[in-house]
Each structure stands twice: as C-alpha cells, then as structure tokens.
C-alpha cells in the first residue's frame, strides 16, 4: 500500500484530471463517480474522479469552495533535461497558471508544482560548499530554472 494524493477542488476536478493526464505520459482517468439524490452536490455532477499521472494514483473531489490549495503542498517534477523542464513548465502554466520563484509555479487550478532538474539535489548538496552555495545563489535569481546556468554556477565557484 502506498499513499496517494487526494485533492479537493471546488467544482472542476474532472477538468483538472483531464488537464493533468494530457501533460504527463502514461496517464489516464481511472474512474468517475457522480453525485446522486440527496447528496451535498448537484445530482449528476462529478463528485470524485480517479486518475493516474505516470502511474501515480490521484483522487480529485468536487467538494465546493471550503478549502483552497496553498504552497504548503506541492508536487515535484524532476526533469532529465532543459527541453523536458521547458515542456512541463509551459504545459502546467497553460490556461492561466502563474510562475513563481525558484522553479515553482501555480497551475490554473491553484495547485503548486516544482519543475526542477533531476540533478538539482546533487548540485545543491555537493561536498564543495562554495559550489553548492553558488548553485543556491543562482537558483534564487531564477523563476523558471535554467539547467546550464545552474551547472555553470557550480563549475565557476
């Protein structure tokens, strides 16, 4: 048994699931249940949608406006190269997302994502503390991350 995210949406869980499954490979909608009679939502409206993003299970609930997403929870996408990073960055911003600092963004549903190079952890934790600090300094100046610039920061420190 592995944990899986359960996401509370106002009324657009199905739209979000279709959006996310269109971005990530090996992704699909796995189930949709609808509100019935005497339910807290309108009869026939999607209540819960199950979906997978590259094999990771997610559940989206249309629960109304009571709860909102915050940056306290984000999803990290570790990218193999700049082209992949650029693709995920642009796709998740599509339709009204907002870029934030240091590789973070909020998508149009308000969910926070970190779009980072897979090697970022190694660059930031290398034994040479001057190089690691140079990478951090470069990172703090970026919105969308530039892998080549992060590598250069480490190499020139």
Asked if domains 1-67 and 69-157 share a fold, the reply is: no
Class (C level, CATH) for 69-157 = alpha beta
Q: What is the DSSP letter of 103?
A: T
Q: Right CATH number for 1-67 from 3.90.79.10, 3.20.20.330, 1.10.3720.10, 3.30.720.100?
A: 3.30.720.100
> Any idea where the domains of the chain sit in the sequence?
1-67, 69-157
Q: What is the pTM of this model?
A: 0.94
The pLDDT of residue 1 is above 90 = no
The pLDDT of residue 157 is above 90 = no
Confidence band (pLDDT; 50, 70, 90) for 8? very high
Residues contacting residue 100 through CB under 8 Å, at least 6 positions apart: 71, 106, 112, 143
The predicted structure's pLDDT at residue 115: 98
> How far apart are the C-alpha atoms of 157 and 127, rounded to whole Å?
13
């Amino acid at each position: 048994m592995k944990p899986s995210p359960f996401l509370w949406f106002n009324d657009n869980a199905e739209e979000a699931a279709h959006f996310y499954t269109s971005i990530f490979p090996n992704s699909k909608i796995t189930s949709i249940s609808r509100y019935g009679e005497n339910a807290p939502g309108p009869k026939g409206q999607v209540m819960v949608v199950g979906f997978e993003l590259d094999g990771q299970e997610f559940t989206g609930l249309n629960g109304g406006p009571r709860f909102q997403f915050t940056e306290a929870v984000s999803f990290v996408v570790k990218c193999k190269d700049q082209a992949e990073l650029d693709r995920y960055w642009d796709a998740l911003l599509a339709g009204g997302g907002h870029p934030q600092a240091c590789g973070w963004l909020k998508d149009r549903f308000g969910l926070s994502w970190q779009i980072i190079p897979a090697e970022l952890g190694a660059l930031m934790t290398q034994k040479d503390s001057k190089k690691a600090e140079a990478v951090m300094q470069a990172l703090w100046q970026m919105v969308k991350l530039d892998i080549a610039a992060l590598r250069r920061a480490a190499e020139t420190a």
